[in-house]
Amino acid sequence: MQDLLVKVKEFKKIIDHSQKIVFFGGAGVSVPSGIPDFRSADGVYSKATNTIYSAEEMVSRTMYFRDTEFFNDFYFKHLVYPNALPNPCHTYLARLEEEGKLKAVVTQNIDGLHQAAGSKVVYELHGSVHRNYCIKCRTFHDLKATLEAPRGKCKTCGGYLKPDVVLFEEGLDHNTIMSSVEAISKADTLIIGGTSLVVQPAASLVNYFKGKNIVVINKTDISVPTYLNPNVLFIKADIGKTFQLLNEL
């Protein structure tokens, strides 16, 4: 705990001396909010689906159009958490943005918790469960309407709703990628949190960083390209606890 406190104090000094911070986050950011880290040892992607399909096949574009009901059963059970609330990481970042220090959040998450905490500039690389469109009449539905009976069906025409999330076999949105690259390339400090940096192409975006400091917060060791910057502060700890300490400081 003492070692964590020392590192968090160093983290705080970096924040105090930064003017253009960008946060790059993964699934671990939302774990303190009760949303599983899907790629961990006991996460969704590592567990059996009780079918002949892998978890990746279950949330693929092919599965959505082949058997939408089958897709929806898995999707709503494992990827949608309507009652999750922002944790100290989300709220601290929102406050940094309000103070003008944080310029953008680049997230691999689809839960919308950064926006719920108050963040305005959020680039959602993999989309959001909060946006859903009817594949028949293109009517927009928010998450609340999507979850209302009949779940996953359009309340206008009865067609199936497709979540605005990047399924396997689909590409990332070009504008979101370019906005993320621009933000990261202009940052003086890059905070990488709750991600193993293995999910591509999202993880490769950190290669565009040209600033002074990188802070990595993750429960397990991850490899950050050394050519990016020699000033890397690694905090091997729970991200919720780390930002809670920042709040207390």
What is the set of active-site residues? 126
The DSSP element (H or E) to which 62 belongs, if any, is: helix 61-66
**CA-CA distances (angstroms) from residue 193 to 29, 117, 207?**
7, 17, 15
- DSSP one-letter string for 161-221: EEEEE--BT-PPPHHHHHHHHHHHHH-SEEEEES--S-STTGGGGGGG--SSEEEEEESS-
Tabulate helix, strand, coil % of the chain (nearest 5).
Answer: 40, 20, 40
* CA atoms within 13 Å, Cβ hemisphere of 210: 6
Phi, psi at residue 122, to the nearest 5°? Answer: -130, 120
232 SS3 class: strand
Beta bridge partners of 158: none
- Minimal CA–CA distance to 8: which of 65, 92, 91? 92
